[in-house]
Amino acid sequence: MQRREFLTGALGAATLQAKMTGPIPIGLNTYCLRSLRWHDVEHLEYCAKQRLDAIFLQDSLDPKKDDPSHWQWVRGRAKELGLHLETGGGGFLPRTPGDKGASIANLRQNIRRAAAMGSPIMRVILASDRASFPPGPVEAHMETAIQLFREVKSQAVDANVKLAVEVHKDLQAWEHKIVIEEAGKDFVGTYLDTGNPVFVLEDPSQTLEVLGQYALTVHLRDSVVYEHRDGIAVQWVPLGEGTIDFPKFIARLREIVTGVHIYIKPITGRPPYVHKIYDKDFWTAFPKARSADFARFLTLAKKGHPYDGHVVIEDLYGRPVPGHFLSAVQYQQREHMERSIAYARKVLGLGVRS
């Protein structure tokens, strides 16, 4: 497809789909089942068994994940199972100016992989969180991201792959919006994740209002958000068991988001994180935080309370799961996924096959 045809087609689709009506196809995000250590084929077969419509292959653990012949196989198997497939890479922001070439090469490789697998998007994140940014102001990192996206634009457009910047723990929604618009919303959009906004002091409903118009893919994750003696605590929980009003969220999403697949993405088993908002040093990470947006987040916290469900707190980010806890974490990840899928179907009315 030529570049002009790609852009015309994208604009035409946006014009035709003013509102999402009827069943919205759903899938799962494979990262949520990472402790099972499944290969790609096992994830594909599991999604088919669960009667899902799609799969988001994220952070693959398959030993052939870098083999182009495997990409083609995954594409074919997903098609045989009737699964829409999306995928992508991870963080790409260079730590130093000398790392810029490696970052561009990483983006190009992930575009090739996404195209080979038949994915219309390529997931990307700037950094795992604000604390992981290289030295310097956030604005400088945003500008670096914009420049790198522009470097790979022609390859992305020619491959018919859009770059989906994940709503992560790095940027607030208004900052994320600037990156998309300045890089070029004709080929860059949003991977709208509902679990990460609470880590940057944001109500996910606020994130939807700001970034919904750019959404290329939507991933649902619930959180408890509540007042804590040291500030505001947040913790991820199974879908439907947290503070977020998902029936209201989906109703609004239908009004402003078009043509996306929704992925169920419970990441649980992690301890609460506390925003120490009463500590003046805390706010150095958010020098331009907007008071109205924070007030909305604080209102959400005042409605919430700690999670009172049973949960194994042993899936600690960045650390291996202790061997004697592994079977419990594996069981929990699968059970929380299936519980969340059931909620999405029965309460939110999502899914086509179901």
CATH of the domain at 134: 3.20.20.150
Q: Is residue 305 part of a domain?
A: no
Q: Is residue 340 part of a domain?
A: yes
Q: Is residue 298 part of a domain?
A: no
**Domain count of the chain?**
1
Question: Does the pLDDT at position 15 exceed 60?
Answer: no
Question: Does the pLDDT at position 14 exceed 80?
Answer: no
> Which ranges constitute the DSSP H helices of 88-245?
100-117, 138-151, 153-158, 173-183, 204-211
Predicted pLDDT of residue 178: 98
Give the Cβ contact number of residue 257 at 10 Å. Answer: 25
Predicted pLDDT of residue 10: 40
Closest to 260 measured CA to CA, from 70, 95, 26: 26
Query: Residue 7: which pLDDT band, with cuts at 50, 70 and 90?
Result: very low
Ramachandran bin of 113, using left for φ above 0, alpha for ψ from -120 to 50, beta for the remaining angles: alpha
Q: What is the mean pLDDT of residues 4-20?
A: 44
Q: Is residue 86 part of a domain?
A: yes
d(CA 70, CA 12): 33
Question: Does the pLDDT at position 210 exceed 90?
Answer: yes
The sign one gets for the Cα dihedral 247, 253, 255, 261 is: negative
Question: Does the pLDDT at position 3 exceed 90?
Answer: no
Q: What is the mean pLDDT of residues 144-168?
A: 98
Predicted pLDDT of residue 320: 82
Domain assignment of residue 174, given as a range: 3-224+237-273+313-346
d(CA 22, CA 155): 34
Q: Is residue 106 part of a domain?
A: yes
14 vs 139, residue with greater confidence: 139
Q: Is residue 123 part of a domain?
A: yes
* DSSP-derived 3-state class of residue 125: strand
Q: Are 334 and 43 in contact (CB under 8 A)?
A: no
Query: Residue 17: which pLDDT band, with cuts at 50, 70 and 90?
Result: very low
Q: Is residue 351 part of a domain?
A: no
Q: Is residue 290 part of a domain?
A: no
